[in-house]
Amino acid sequence: MDLLDTLTDKGLRRELPTREEALAVLATTDDELLDVVAAAGRVRRQWFGRRVKLNYLVNLKSGLCPEDCSYCSQRLGSKAEILKYTWLKPEQAAEAAAAGVAGGAKRVCLVASGRGPTDRDIDRVADTIAAIKDADEQVEVCACLGLLSDNQAERLKAAGADAYNHNLNTSESTYGDITTTHTYADRVDTVAKAHGAGLSACSGLIAGMGESDADLVDVVFALRELDPDSVPVNFLIPFEGTPLAEEWNLTPQRCLRILAMVRFVCPDIEVRIAGGREVHLRSMQPLGLHIANSIFLGDYLTSEGQAGQADLDMIKDAGFEVEGAEQTTLPRHRVTAAGGCGGASACGGHGEDAADACGTGACGPCGGHSATGADVEAEAAAGESDEARTDLVRVRRRGAGTELAPNA
């Protein structure tokens, strides 16, 4: 297909596709799906080899958020029966983080519900970062605390944070339909603050909220312009008790096309399959690994993911390898670029030579295992049904904020 050849060549050269090309990826047919995955897979292997970075979420403060984001189970007025608790103590958060690290995670994402942190909250998170790094200084720590005020990003950086996450979520033109208590511009400003403080910026989207193809392309192009180091792609988990509880708009095939479009637009950026992969990709999750190079291990903020060991088995069975703490996540040109990553440690570089940043033996466009063989056809075979799997939405009842062990 001329389209995929063009997109592959552009991805290997780090050249931005046109909006029309990005839209065309979302419009491909199911008969073309494996070709789309294979083309995106070539770009993924060029910049990230066959490594999969594992990230682990710790929900520091759950529920009771004053913001009205329609997709969120922690929103103002949510009737979702989620865990609700105030700030974990630093030692509690460090214990939760240690479970993820023991399971293979190299980045711990510290998340707290709310509009944004107070100065006292920044102090709490600083103490938590110190407790985590005291246990393992190589662990990357990403904070996700909402909208940042002036100098808060600098304080997090000084406390040892490596990255800051704040998602754009959807296009600017439709943002007001999803959230009214803050603006799209507020989110862009927070990502800019993280960049300005030298933190590795992490910003992504949520698919499946009723948006159009044009909305998806708009937000991904906006993300490319912001130039984050990582782009999490969330698939809406329609929680009962939220305004979007009935929005079951995704199929596994649709999710793969969205991931591929993101990879073509952001070829050398860490693309992470985030919340909702078990619910919407289901048995086609291994195909997603041919496109994305990063996932969350185990549970999410308020919902349960598949068992951590199942994640590890999936990665191994699909022919990929877990990225080690000694390996650098991003390609060399992003690590060494002025301002890129906010320093090598923010991207997993702990003294490793950047020439080996793509992993072992699979850097080139032909390196590694082809995504066009019988293995991916077998993985696709079980993904034909488009029925909503509401039974896969499970509220988290273990891990942080509970007396039960996490599933990492």
Q: Render the burial of 117-134: b for 16+ CB within 10 Å, e for the rest.
A: beeebbebbbbbbebbbe
Catalytic residue, from 42, 65, 187, 266: name it: 65
Residue pLDDT, tens place only, 178-233: 999 999 999 999 999 999 999 999 999 999 999 999 999 999 999 999 999 999 99
Token pair of 347, please? 């991207």
Residue 324: give the domain boundaries. Answer: 2-385
pTM to 2 decimals? 0.85
Taking alpha carbons only, the member of 402, 399, 401 closest to residue 99 is 399
Is there a binding annotation on residue 142? Answer: yes
42 is catalytic: no
State mean pLDDT over 42-47.
Answer: 98
Residue 204 lies in a domain: yes
- The answer to whether residue 82 is domain-embedded is yes
Residue 394 lies in a domain: no
Cα first-last separation, the chain:
41
Catalytic annotation, pick one of 51, 187, 202, 255? 202
In tens, the pLDDT along 296-346 reads 998 877 777 888 999 999 999 999 999 999 999 999 999 876 444 433 333
- The residues facing 235 across adjacent strands are 207
Per the annotation, the verdict on 363 as an active-site residue is no
Residue 400 domain-assigned (yes or no): no
How many folded domains does the chain comprise? 1
| Residue 363 annotated as binding site | no
The answer to whether the beta carbons of residues 104 and 294 sit under 8 Å apart is: no
CB 235 within 8 A of CB 208: yes
72 is catalytic: yes
| Catalytic, out of 142, 255, 266, 341 | 142
Query: Is 399 a member of any domain?
Result: no
Evaluate whether 73 touches 241 at the Cβ level (below 8 Å). Answer: yes
Is 72 part of any domain?
A: yes
pLDDT digits (tens, 9 = 90+) for 84-141: 888 999 999 999 999 999 999 999 999 998 999 999 999 999 999 999 999 999 999 9
Looking at residue 71, which CATH number applies to its domain? 3.20.20.70
255 is annotated as contributing to ligand binding? no
Active-site entry in 50, 75, 254, 272: 272
Q: Is 65 a catalytic residue?
A: yes
Please, what is the angle between helix 252-265 and helix 213-226, to 10°? 30
In a domain, 401, yes or no: no
72 annotated as belonging to a binding site for a ligand: yes
Classify residue 408: in a domain, yes or no: no
